[in-house]
A = this chain, B = another copy of it.
Amino acid sequence: MFPLPEPMRLALDAARRAGDAGEVPVGAVVVHRGAILAVAANAPRRLHDPTAHAEIQAIREAAAVLRRDRLEDCDLWVTLEPCAMCAGAIAHARIARLYYAASDPKGGAVEHGPRFFAQPTCHHRPDLYTGIGEAEAARLLRDFFAARR
């Protein structure tokens, strides 16, 4: 087995922490010019914020650190295919590259449902890399939902 790239390893660690806290286990990392800039875990329940998906948290933190609202020189690594809200935020932020681990047929909006980045009204499409860390990301989600049944 090949070692995972550092950003995906950190995103999976964040996903695990989310799951331990009772949140759906998803994690995200923003990388700015090769350096880790933000690491975030899914936390809508804990934060009382329906928008607090891992991607949104990581993008907001990175933008706050850089003191601007566009992240053209940043990449986003996330353990699950982004939903419509997060795909929209990725486009607004002008994220350069999007890496996600597991696909999400139920709520994903990249290869499923709205297929947001393929819409003519989408103003920015990141380069896409999928499947890195997929097995571990999917296992975290499966175990989480199995334990809740």
Q: Which residues of B contact A86 (CB under 8 A)?
A: 85, 88
Find out whether the CB atom of B50 lies under 8 angstroms from the CB atom of A89.
yes
Query: Within the complex, which residue of B59, B83, B105, B121 is in contact with A107, where a contact is CB–CB below 8 Å?
Result: B121
Q: Cβ of A131 < 8 Å from any Cβ of B? A: no
Q: What is the copy number of this chain in the assembly?
A: 2
Find out whether the CB atom of A112 lies under 8 angstroms from the CB atom of B121.
yes
The docked-state distance in angstroms from the alpha carbon of A88 to that of B120 is 18
Find out whether the CB atom of A114 lies under 8 angstroms from the CB atom of B119.
yes
Q: Taking CB as reference atom, which chain B residue is nearest A43?
A: B69
Q: Cβ of A87 < 8 Å from any Cβ of B? A: yes
A: contact size bracket: 35 or more
Q: Which residues of B contact A60 (CB under 8 A)?
A: 49, 51
| Besides A85-B89, A105-B121, 4 new A-B residue pairs in contact (Cβ under 8 A), listed by A number | A47-B69, A50-B89, A109-B114, A113-B121
Q: Can you spell out 30 A-B residue pairs with CB atoms less than 8 angstroms apart?
A: A44-B69, A45-B69, A48-B67, A48-B68, A48-B69, A49-B63, A49-B64, A50-B69, A50-B70, A50-B71, A50-B89, A50-B94, A51-B56, A83-B88, A84-B85, A84-B109, A84-B122, A85-B85, A85-B86, A85-B87, A85-B92, A86-B88, A88-B88, A88-B109, A105-B121, A106-B121, A109-B114, A114-B114, A114-B116, A114-B121
